[in-house]
Structure formats: structure tokens, C-alpha cells
Amino acid sequence: MISSTDPTTANPIYFHDYHPTPSDLRAEVLAGLAQPRKQLSPKLFYDAEGSKLFDAICELPEYYPTRTEIAILREHGAEMARRLGREALLVELGSGSSLKIRVLLEALQPAVYMPVDISSEHLQRSAQALAATFPKLEVHAVCADYSTPFELPVDDHSHPRAAFFPGSSIGNFEPAEAEQLLRRVGTILGPEGRLLIGVDLIKDRARLERAYNDAAGVTAAFNMNLLSRINRELDGKFDLARFRHEAFFNAEQGRIEMHLLSTCDQDVDVAGETFSFREGETIHTECSHKYSVEGFHALAGRAGFQPEQVWTDPKQLFSVHCLVHRGTLATE
């Protein structure tokens, strides 16, 4: 553990590095492209360029989730803070949008803030910035992959425990994986710990599809950047003019799917291997699951959480849930 000695912040930042296994990009890409239905993980979107494009997506008029969630946090922050309790230990899963966490920190004023993020640089930068604005806050930055099991670096149960998982990031997981992830969050929180989680709501197809097919083409660029990244980092030979972005709502599965569609029959070399594409064949790059309030409550219940309160916006676009961890039956 390293504690920062930055003289500009009164409060020290403790940095806990669990050395999340550096994902082997080459192995992952080759395995994904070798599948009968080609697929790549949405985690791979977020190189420096992809992270910039994602920030731009959050500003798009069609992409309602970010601004709607922030509005819900602003409107109901005080009530959320009462639910989560005074002097809390607040864990944030993914240290993403700094604006959301700032709104919550202001309302909640926790004793300890513990962002968990896989990217060491991003984590250290945002932890420093937050420590500077909230000088009374004890900050423990944890570099870890929250999609795999890990323990908190403190064993102190004197604070009520709370976790914040914004952005509908849970939507990237298949429902069974999402349940498993929530179970692990429950283990970290312990009995009576609370989870504040942002979940995008099922709504009319047109609005959902517009959010992933914006007029300015930023989402298309974000999706296509995965091919550029493979070209840059793995000596890939993707011709970007022969692929296009595709995003649609799969109503049966309740999710937006993003794909990269080959516009012709072609062979593409990547890292010394050749992959054939038929015209119209796709690489599936992302699932973004949407839930009704009831549907999400059912999932949370299976993971050992009991719904306490849910806040939505007037148009019912997005939901923020407060769930309390009750633990699961010993027989499970």
C-alpha cells in the first residue's frame, strides 16, 4: 500500500494495488474472432481513444442515461443519503463519471470513499482530484477488477457499508452474470449493507435505438474504434470502409446489441491469423440489458438483496435503486 504525499491535499490517499491480471488483448481478440459467432468484449472499447469517445457519447442529445441519472441523483440525493446512513464507508464500482460521484459525496458525506477501478492511472487521477475537493474524506483507491472476486482492504465494520454502481454498467452483464456480480457485492457489503445502483429502463424501441445510433455518428465511431485499436495494437488489417456500425433492440432478450457488420465477403489478417467474413456477418461487440423495475427487483432478490426504494425521472427513462443486503439462504 502506498499513501500519497501530495502536499496539496490535506487528507492522504491510500492506494491498494491488487494487480488485476493485465488482460491479454491478443489472446482475447483471437479467441473472440475464432468463435462461430464472432464476438469481442465491450471491455475492449476503453483504450484512450475509446474512453474519449465514451465521454462524448455521454454528452449526446440522444444518449439520455447519463444526464437522466445525474438529474435523479441531484433531485433525490438527500433521501438516498438518509437510506445509506451517516459516516458510511462508500465503495464505488468503477471510478467513472466524476460528476455522479461528486453529487453523491456532497449529499452523503461518507467517512471513507473507496473507488475500485481496473485502470491504475485513471483511478489515481480521479482519487487525487476528489481528495482535493473533499478534504475531510479518507480515500482508499483500490486497483482491482470488480468483475472477479476481491476483498476490501479494510476490515473495519464500524461504518455502515454502501456501494455505488452507476451508469447501468450492470447492463453489460448477462442476467446470470449480473446476479453473480451482485452476490459478490453483497459479500463485500455484509448484512444490512446497501447498494445504490443505476439501471436503464425498458422503453419504446425508437428511443432506445436512437440512443445507440446517434445522428453525429459518435457511437458508430466508438464501436468502429475497436477495429482501429486492433489495427494499432495487434497489427490488424481491418479495412474500416468495409465494416459498419449496427445497433438494435433485441426485444426477446431485453437488450441493445451492438455489432460490427462486414459489408462484403472478405478475409482479414489479425496478429498473423486470417479470419473470413461473409457479407452481412457481424462481430458482436456489446450487450446493454434494460430492465423494468420489477424485473430488476427479481434479479436483485435472487442475489440476496431486498429492494428498499427506487427513484426514476418523470419520463421513466432511468432508475436508481437502493437495495439492502439480506444475505442468501445457507442452502444456496
Instruction: Indicate the SS3 state at residue 269.
Output: strand
The three-state secondary structure class of 201 is strand
Identity of the residue, 14 or 291, whose beta carbon is nearer to ligand AVJ in the bound complex: 291
189 is written with which cell numbers?
Answer: 457489503
Residue 238 in contact with ligand AVJ, rule: CB under 6 A: no
Q: Comparing C-alpha atoms, which of 134, 206, 165, 175 is closest to residue 323?
A: 165
Residue nearest to ligand AVJ (CB): 288
Q: Residues touching ligand AVJ: how many (CB under 6 A)?
A: 11
Q: Does 219 bind ligand AVJ (CB under 6 A)?
A: yes
Burial of 157 (0-12, 13-18, 19+ CB in 10 A): exposed
- Only one of the segments 106-114, 169-177, 276-284, 290-298 lies at the binding site for ligand AVJ (rule: CB under 6 A); that segment is 169-177
Of 199, 227, 173, residue with least CA distance to 50: 227
Q: Judged by CB, which is closer to ligand AVJ: 88, or 320?
A: 320
**Can you tell me which residue has the cell 475492449?**
44
Residue 156 exposed, middle or buried by CB count within 10 Å (0-12, 13-18, 19+): exposed
DSSP conformation letters of 63-114:
-HHHHHHHHHHHHHHHHHHHHH-TT-EEEEES---HHHHHHHHHHH--SEEE
Q: Does 110 participate in binding ligand AVJ (rule CB under 6 A)?
A: no
- For the bound state, the minimum distance from the C-beta of residue 311 to ligand AVJ, rounded and expressed in Å, comes to 18
The string of DSSP codes covering 135-147 is TT-EEEEEE--TT
| Least distance (Å) between residue 85 CB and ligand AVJ | 27
**In the complex, what is the shortest distance from the CB of residue 249 to ligand AVJ, in angstroms, rounded to a whole number?**
12
DSSP single-letter state for residue 191: T
The contact pattern for ligand AVJ, residues 34-63, with x = CB under 6 A and - = no contact, is -----------------------x------
Cβ-based nearer residue to ligand AVJ, 30 or 56? 56
Tell me which stretch binds ligand AVJ (CB under 6 A): 163-171, 201-209, 236-244, 263-271: 163-171
* Shortest separation between residue 278's beta carbon and ligand AVJ, angstroms: 25
Under the criterion CB under 6 A, does residue 117 sit at the interface with ligand AVJ?
no
167 binds ligand AVJ (CB under 6 A): yes
Q: Find, among 95, 49, 66, 94, the residue nearest to 218 by Cα.
A: 49
Distances (CA, A) of 93 to 114, 150, 272: 9, 12, 37
Question: Which of 288, 299, 305, 311 is in the footprint of ligand AVJ by CB under 6 A?
Answer: 288
Among 112, 286, 290, 324, binds ligand AVJ (CB under 6 A): 286
> What is the smallest separation between the CB atom of 56 and ligand AVJ, expressed in angstroms?
10
Footprint of ligand AVJ on this chain (CB under 6 A)? 57, 65, 167-169, 171-172, 212, 219, 286, 288
